[in-house]
């Protein structure tokens, strides 16, 4: 098959997918309104066809990327003959058009999985779920098949017959050039990193995954089936999507830490913020739904949180693809931004209309009995998380709003976000420890004193110990004291639960702990997640408050010292690699006078067919211990003089950030595992809902 025929087939698959997704959305809605089961089956089958067609289109593009079909413009821009296979594959999501295809493909696959899972369940909801999923898939497919560049085509919408005629389509990954380049430009060198192979994938899986609970929420509003059935049905989807968002944050931070060379992992970049905001609202939702399941409260709030998470995922996509912000993570300027804003606006208006129409069906089954209760602490937790999300949102979009109004560019940097979100996150940490200590409905003074005595005493002892070890800053003492409070609280929860099993079933402590988690995976998986969060907080506090650095220009044999480390520069090496040239500095590291190893930071030069696109990147060298990272960057060099400019940083406790995220992932997996208790609760909820609508 020729490259043009391959492009035409890929484009045709996308265009047919658009038609079938629109048919699925319309037919499912018609079937629900007219009670036509055969039309519903047809709509469901259409989603399976969309999944197959988008898989075909994705497979064609991947094949074109790895076989260097440079006649296809996207392949020529994102790959090169010298580029390693791994990065030729990651080029699928490394550019704007490919990432749109990747998103649409993931959503089509997820939709097919949902339909299989609910083949004979939730029959009242599923037609509307298909409608929501079909419309969303169609939107992303439309960006690739009908969204055009008015400056090139003269039309707002173009409907080309094939990829060869689709030059004006700004989102089409199968545009064909009128010549065949000898080689491609290749990915941005900053993206040629193992972290960037997996970070976007996990991020997209999280973003796309939250379309599923949102579609069920809209279906519940349409059908007035507003009990907790839709929440319980999508619980695992929500947890898994939140897990992937968490992994997206983790791998994004690791990429920034290892690739950018500035010594940090989070700079409050607009695209970083775009990934954080839906994570915050999704976290709030995961906590809030427990109140609805337990007490029949916060029904409206839970719907709003699902909507916010989905909307913020779309907003993050808009930020990276519109070109309205400058970021190392963002794509260039394009005309896709207005399409995202229109779709986002229509989605929000539809949701709000349905929500207000159904207010009479969303009455609370119970009221808040006391401000000193687990319900109130969960609600405060929600308000803090959403407050942090909106503070981050405002800081992110303010430069855009200000420029639109005043035509002046302003920046909102890390100091603003740290000053606003720092106290918010500190209050959130305290609440993580308080919530398990307070009972449902109403807590008595006696219970509060008994439950808080040990954690408070342990915290006081920890603060004294940290002070004796030399921690004098109030922010450090507060952070480590709060972390101690939460960890002791969680440890006591595990201890009490395991002790009860030891006494009741005569199990040994190890078996008791395993069975405790197994019998209540959601609760204790959540506690494990909280442990991970607190360990990450310890790493963030240490590396943020106590980082130290120095910089020196050295000749071979000279040394630079920072605290208890001495680094001797042994010389430069310059040699070619597969698709770039590496310049390395060999350093011998001494800690307190003892040789502890070698570090080799480097700079890499990536030549390009387009000289303007040739680029330098930095690869840091790091020595990690449980107490600190010794982080070294080759900031500059002089090949003739054989000198190197080295930036040396000590990042205390940063390894605990990565360990914390690993534990968070483990806890989420535990909470998402099949749980007989949850299945029984879902069956009871379905029976209750069926009786109410009989």
* Mean pLDDT for the stretch of residues 676-680: 80
Task: Find the angle CA(206)-CA(209)-CA(214) to the nearest 5 degrees.
Answer: 125
Helix, strand, or coil (residue 403): helix
* φ/ψ of residue 561, rounded to 5: -125, 140
Place of tokens 């991020």: 203
Q: Which residues contact 670 (CB under 8 A, 6 or more apart)?
A: 517, 521, 524, 525, 528
How many helices (H) and strands (E) in the chain? 22, 10
pLDDT at 159 > cutoff 80:
no
Cβ count near 154 (within 10 Å): 10
pLDDT at 516 > cutoff 50:
yes
pTM, to two decimals = 0.92
Distance in angstroms (rounded) separating the CA atoms of residues 133 and 21: 8
**What are the structure tokens assigned to 57, written together?**
């289109």
Q: Which of 458, 512, 530, 460 is nearest to 488 (CA)?
A: 458
* Mean pLDDT for the stretch of residues 632-641: 89
* pLDDT value, residue 440: 66
Distance in angstroms (rounded) separating the CA atoms of residues 423 and 153: 51
Cβ count near 487 (within 10 Å): 21
Condensed to tens digits (0 to 9), the pLDDT of residues 481-493 reads: 999 999 999 999 8
| Range of weakest confidence among 131-135, 150-154, 351-355, 504-508 | 150-154
Q: Which helix (H) or strand (E) holds 533?
A: helix 521-545
* pLDDT value, residue 154: 45
Helix, strand, or coil (residue 267): coil
pLDDT at 303 > cutoff 60:
yes
Share of the chain above pLDDT 70, in %: 91
Compute the mean pLDDT over every residue in the chain, rounded to the nearest whole number. 87
Q: Which domains does the chain have, with CATH numbers?
A: 1-187 (1.20.120), 429-546+663-671 (no CATH), 548-655 (no CATH)
597: left (phi over 0), alpha (psi -120 to 50) or beta: left
* pLDDT band at residue 4 under the 50/70/90 scheme: confident
Distance in angstroms (rounded) separating the CA atoms of residues 552 and 606: 26
The maximal CA–CA distance of the chain, rounded, in angstroms, is 86
Condensed to tens digits (0 to 9), the pLDDT of residues 170-214 reads: 788 999 988 888 888 888 887 887 877 888 899 999 999 999 999
pLDDT at 562 > cutoff 60:
yes
Beta strands (DSSP E) in 540-656 are 548-554, 559-562, 565-576, 581-591, 594-599, 602-606, 615-619, 621-624, 628-638, 643-652
Q: Which of 363, 377, 317 is nearest to 344 (CA)?
A: 317
Q: Which of 682, 624, 634 is nearest to 657 (CA)?
A: 624
Condensed to tens digits (0 to 9), the pLDDT of residues 37-85 reads: 899 999 999 999 999 999 999 999 999 999 999 999 999 999 988 888 9
* Mean pLDDT for the stretch of residues 521-529: 92
Q: Which of 446, 520, 436, 445 is nearest to 486 (CA)?
A: 436
The whole-angstrom distance between residue 110's C-alpha and the CA centroid of its chain comes to 17
* pLDDT band at residue 334 under the 50/70/90 scheme: low
* Mean pLDDT for the stretch of residues 219-223: 94
* pLDDT band at residue 156 under the 50/70/90 scheme: very low
pLDDT at 155 > cutoff 50:
no
* pLDDT value, residue 675: 80
350-359, 600-609, 671-680, range with greatest mean pLDDT:
350-359
């Amino acid at each position: 098959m020729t490259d043009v025929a391959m492009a035409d087939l890929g484009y045709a698959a996308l265009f047919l997918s658009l038609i079938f997704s629109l048919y699925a959305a319309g037919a499912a809605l018609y079937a629900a309104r007219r009670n036509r089961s055969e039309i519903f089956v047809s709509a469901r089958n259409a989603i399976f066809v969309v999944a197959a067609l988008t898989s075909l289109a994705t497979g064609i593009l991947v094949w074109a990327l790895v076989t260097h079909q440079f006649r296809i413009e996207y392949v020529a821009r994102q790959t090169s003959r010298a580029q390693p296979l791994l990065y030729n594959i990651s080029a699928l999501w490394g550019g704007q058009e490919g990432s749109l295809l990747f998103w649409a493909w993931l959503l089509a696959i997820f939709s097919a999985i949902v339909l299989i899972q609910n083949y004979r369940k939730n029959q009242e909801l599923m037609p509307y779920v298909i409608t929501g999923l079909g419309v969303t898939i169609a939107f992303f497919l439309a960006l690739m098949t009908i969204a055009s560049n008015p400056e090139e085509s003269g039309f707002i919408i173009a409907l080309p017959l094939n990829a060869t005629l689709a030059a004006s389509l700004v989102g089409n990954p199968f545009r064909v050039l009128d010549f065949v380049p000898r080689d491609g430009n290749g990915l941005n060198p900053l993206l040629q990193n193992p972290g960037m192979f997996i970070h976007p994938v996990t991020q997209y899986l999280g973003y796309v995954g939250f379309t599923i609970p949102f579609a069920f929420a809209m279906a519940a509003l349409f059908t007035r089936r507003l009990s907790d059935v839709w929440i319980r049905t999508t619980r695992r989807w929500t947890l898994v999507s939140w897990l992937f968002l968490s992994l997206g944050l983790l791998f994004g931070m690791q990429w920034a830490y290892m690739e950018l060379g500035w010594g940090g992992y989070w700079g409050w970049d607009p695209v970083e913020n775009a990934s954080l905001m839906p994570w915050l609202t999704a976290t709030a939702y995961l906590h809030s739904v427990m109140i609805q399941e337990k007490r029949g409260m916060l029904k409206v709030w839970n719907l709003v949180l699902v909507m916010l998470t989905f909307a913020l995922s779309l907003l993050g996509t808009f930020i990276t693809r519109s070109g309205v912000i400058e970021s190392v993570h963002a794509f260039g300027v394009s005309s896709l931004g207005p399409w995202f804003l229109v779709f986002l606006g229509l989605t929000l208006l539809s949701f709000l209309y349905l929500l207000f129409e159904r207010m009479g069906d969303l009455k609370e089954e119970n009221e808040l009995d006391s401000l000193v209760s687990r319900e109130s602490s969960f609600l405060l937790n929600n308000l803090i998380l959403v407050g942090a999300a909106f503070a981050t949102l405002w800081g992110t979009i303010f430069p855009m709003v200000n420029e639109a109004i005043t035509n002046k560019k302003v920046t909102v940097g890390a100091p603003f976000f740290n000053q606003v979100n720092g106290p918010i996150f500190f209050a959130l940490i305290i609440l993580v420890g308080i919530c398990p200590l307070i009972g449902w409905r109403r807590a008595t003074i006696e219970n509060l004193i008994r439950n808080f005595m040990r954690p408070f005493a342990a915290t006081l002892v920890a603060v004294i110990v940290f002070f004796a070890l030399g921690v004098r800053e109030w922010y450090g003492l507060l952070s480590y004291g709060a972390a101690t409070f939460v960890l002791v609280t969680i440890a006591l929860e595990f201890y009490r639960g395991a002790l009860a099993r030891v006494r009741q079933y005569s199990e040994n402590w190890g078996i008791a702990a395993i069975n405790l988690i197994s019998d209540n995976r959601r609760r204790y998986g959540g506690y494990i997640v909280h442990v991970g969060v607190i360990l990450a907080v310890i790493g963030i506090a240490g590396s943020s408050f106590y980082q130290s650095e120095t910089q020196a220009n050295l000749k071979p044999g000279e040394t630079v010292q920072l605290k208890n480390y001495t680094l001797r520069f042994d010389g430069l090496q310059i040699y070619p690699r597969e698709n770039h040239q590496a310049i390395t500095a060999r350093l011998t590291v001494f800690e307190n006078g003892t040789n502890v190893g070698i570090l080799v930071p480097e700079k890499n030069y990536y030549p390009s067919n387009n000289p303007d696109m040739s680029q330098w990147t930095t690869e840091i060298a790091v020595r990690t211990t449980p107490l600190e990272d010794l982080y070294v960057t080759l900031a500059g060099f002089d090949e003739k003089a054989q000198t190197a400019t080295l930036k040396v940083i000590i990042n205390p406790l940063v390894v605990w950030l990565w360990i914390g995220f690993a534990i968070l992932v483990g806890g989420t997996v535990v909470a998402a595992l099949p749980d007989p208790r949850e299945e029984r609760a879902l069956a009871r909820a379905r029976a209750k809902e069926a009786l109410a609508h009989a």
